[in-house]
Structure 1
């Protein structure tokens, strides 16, 4: 599809140039709000420049990796843009991860610095020696209200607000960047479940921002929108849509640190005449069941985007009935920065992930990677400027998903109708999606296999009305299952949404002739 020249985002070639252009254009307008504090674009730019100066003073060099392990606080966008200004590569990390999950991501990426919530100090301290981390910046959720004066029990650590203060007196020394420079390693299980860093360049992310803005058109007016941000910024969905797209359009992003607290969520958005929000099924349904949310004035809401998991008809209907706004479902992957398809606002086709974005080509292939004709069902493949540079230090894994000509295999089975709308009908991979979060059976099976008495395990997804899917584990054990003990064991090694909701004891698991566990047979049960 061709590029639409009518709606431009920026003429910048890298995210840092875009950042400075945006802050100059919308200087006095609100940029980010969280926990009752609002920063203008001018204030936000000053904080990021101070932190960038501090980061450079620690000896970090352009191209070094830095981990961000934070919820949706003001500190996240400040740290992200400060790191980019220092020429660093972002490694976004879920703060709910176990020490085991953090260790893998940080050692694999080789991060040398970390910005982390201070409540995670003990957990981080237990794995520091297994990483290359030399600089740690800790922060409290309340730092912009009342900076914490406590000293953390971490070596080489400094408080976030102290780093800002020190950076204010240091030289700026801008770093020269190009679109080809890496901006982020976004970790994903891809099609195999082995956590790999998708290498996203400045050009990848900026291209996707241009593409999304072109699709949204006049529903994203420069400097006029207020977007609610409940989805975590460490996830590629909100990272691109809110931290880049809506930021670059001069929008006011209202960050929600803990969207699970729905009554608290409603209180935080009550002061704002919000015009947009990105979410998913569980959030839409949960909010619409609250009387306090139904009592809000949502007359200004004109854009609701759904992604991360399939949008159900029930969720779309209750959201429109409650707010008066339709939901535009989209689709993407970490490997595509992430947006590939998005339903046009006001012309949504329910059950479809929408039309490919500008400059994005899609095609379907069979199991031998042969192109399929129109009307067929096959694996969806993507080509466009938003497709990653490959997996970090994983050339074989990269080759497994990239076809000749720059096509990325998604692992999703799709159809494309005559109007070009794409629909996902199945998953080639064994991926489970719990409330928009990817869960890979291999990882959970590996953890279950470490539990004393468990001989083998197989994990599949089970449909769930609230979360889309839940994790179900079939277990072959030497003795009767102690479900509570097994879940406690998993809690120490896995983030909450990966823990099996149900464990079923079986005498044997279904297997192929070569001994491979047949998850599809278990799913069929």
Structure 2
């Protein structure tokens, strides 16, 4: 039914695992209880989620690298009754407060600020997402999902694993982060759609042998630099992109992305509104049960949703909006630059100004960078400050907080 690295698990294996869960009272009686799970056994994690969902319980996934004290703190902040840490046979009781709500999947989201927030999604809403996702995803049951991202996150678990099972294909879950191992698994499963983060996809595209191509790849989580996307398209039969948020899961899918800001077509169970290309606005998502104000800036044209920036990250230079991704794409095209992040700083006299940190093979003369930017950008888009760094600081979830990089421009 699915692989975890090189190990294949059948329906019979899952049924045997369920029998073990049924023999343990703290699992058998999980209805209306919230169980936090931190385990390095991916097969056990997935079957636990499916079993708890079937029982009417709730799941709080915790990343496998989290230490015990951190897992206890995380589980407690999410209102968990029990923490299963490394083993299903021993557990930590955290609360005996009754819980009569419908079973949920809990996700902790840090967004761009780093401040955690607890997101609860009912299993019925997850089911609705899966049905809608499978309906719009342009792949068939012969295409296996290669999931090279954490299954404790909804991107890997819902879109990579559960949606794959629903369409009758086989998930191949990879926990070995060695790029050569991932390329080996892709070659073993030539009919595939690879789920991974943009940075990993780009790394794999650079290591891919000249005589090998990706079948299909899916990118999500953060906007891929345009030159990375161009490179990936050259090595792939098809590059897809999806956009979503913790509160609703996947919102839109692009079946063949050429422009990295184009997120694609909204899923049929959602209503998505945004601004126009001339006047971008906040992306708002409406489901049957809630309205989500994403604080993402974008627009819809020809039914395709485009994402420009987080509203908090947009830089207002003398009344003119600057979207960081546009400036980053120009800088990333400069031959010596490996990575760049654009953010705003406040100037006490002239307001917000564009600044950049960049990683390069060597420091670059600022005038050289300014002249490069002048070839492609309007004057208000050109950074006032260029800072060479050996590494751009990232949050624990791998994302960059432009807010933390900002400050006052002296």
Q: Name the TM-score, length of structure 2 as normaliser.
A: 0.70
Mapped pair 1:317 → 2:230: yes
Aligned twin of 1:205: 126
- Structure 2: gaps of 5 or more residues: 315-323, 326-354, 362-392
> Is 1:353–1:424's contact at 8 Å kept on the other side of the alignment?
yes
> What does 1:60-139 align with in structure 2 at a 5 Å threshold?
60-71=29-40, 73-97=42-66, 101-117=70-86, 132=94
Higher relative CO (Cα under 8 Å, sequence separation at least 6) belongs to: 1
Residues 243/463 of structure 1: CA separation in 2 closer, same or farther (3 Å cut)? farther
Taking the TM superposition and a 5 Å limit, the aligned residue runs for 1:226-375 are: 226-259=144-177, 261-290=178-207, 293-294=208-209, 297-298=212-213, 301=215, 303-322=216-235, 324-336=236-248, 338-343=249-254, 345-346=255-256, 349-364=259-274, 375=278
> For the residues of structure 1 that align with 2:247 and 2:280, how far apart are their CA atoms?
22
CA distance 1:133–1:205, change in 2 (3 Å):
same
Which of these residues, 127, 130, 140, is aligned with residue 220 of structure 1?
Answer: 140
1:306–1:328 CA contact under 8 A, matched in 2: yes
Gaps in structure 1 of 5+ consecutive residues: 1-30, 119-123, 135-179, 365-371, 388-405, 434-459, 467-489, 501-517
Q: Aligned partners of 1:196 and 1:91: how far apart in 2? A: 13
Check the 8 A contact 2:297/2:310 in 1, yes or no: yes
CA distance in 2, matches of 1:313, 1:373: 22
**2:280 alignment partner in structure 1:** 377
**1:45/1:230 CA distance change after superposition, 3 Å:** same
Q: What does the per-residue CA deviation read over 1:290-332, in whole Å, with 9 as the maximum and x for residues that have no partner?
A: 2xx3267547x2x32111010222222222222x322111110
Cα distance 1:362–1:116, how it changes in 2: closer, same or farther (>3 A)? same
Pairwise CA distance, 1:235: 0.9
Whose strand proportion is higher, 1 or 2? 2
Q: CA RMSD in A?
A: 3.9
Could you tell me how far 1:32 is from its partner in structure 2?
Answer: 1.3
CA displacement at 1:271 relative to structure 2 = 2.7
Contact kept in structure 2, 1:96 and 1:496, CA below 8 Å: no
2:299 counterpart SS class: strand
1:101 to partner: Cα distance: 4.5
Contact 1:188 1:195 in 2 (8 A): yes
Q: Structure 1, residues 167-206: CA drift from partner, whole Å, max 9, x if none?
A: xxxxxxxxxxxxx832311111357643222111122111
CA displacement 1:55-85 (0-9 Å, x = unmatched):
4455743121112224573222122212223
CA drift at 1:423: 1.6
Kindly tell me the number of residue pairs found equivalent between the two proteins. 336
* CA distance in 2 between partners of 1:335 and 1:95 (Å): 23
Partners in 1 of 2:253 and 2:128 — Cα distance? Answer: 15
- Rate the CA distance shift 1:267–1:304 in 2: closer, same or farther, 3 A: closer
Contact 1:96/1:495 (<8 A) preserved: no
Q: Which residue does the alignment assign to 1:186?
A: 107
> 1:272 Cα shift?
2.6
C-alpha deviations, 1:435-494, integer Å up to 9, x for none? xxxxxxxxxxxxxxxxxxxxxxxxx9956699xxxxxxxxxxxxxxxxxxxxxxx9xxx9
Give the Å deviation of 1:353.
Answer: 0.8
Q: Which moved more, 1:188-197 or 1:350-359?
A: 188-197
Most deviating of 82-91 and 325-334: 82-91
Shift of 1:52: 3.4
What TM-score results when the alignment is normalised by the length of structure 1? 0.56
C-alpha spacing 1:48/1:99, structure 2 compared with 1 (3 Å):
closer
Residues 98, 107 of structure 1: CA spacing in aligned structure 2 closer, same or farther, 3 A cutoff? same
State yes or no: 1:425 paired with 2:328.
Answer: no
Checking the alignment, whether the CA contact within 8 Å between 2:37 and 2:59 is kept in structure 1 is yes
Following superposition, the deviation at residue 348 of structure 1 comes to: 5.5
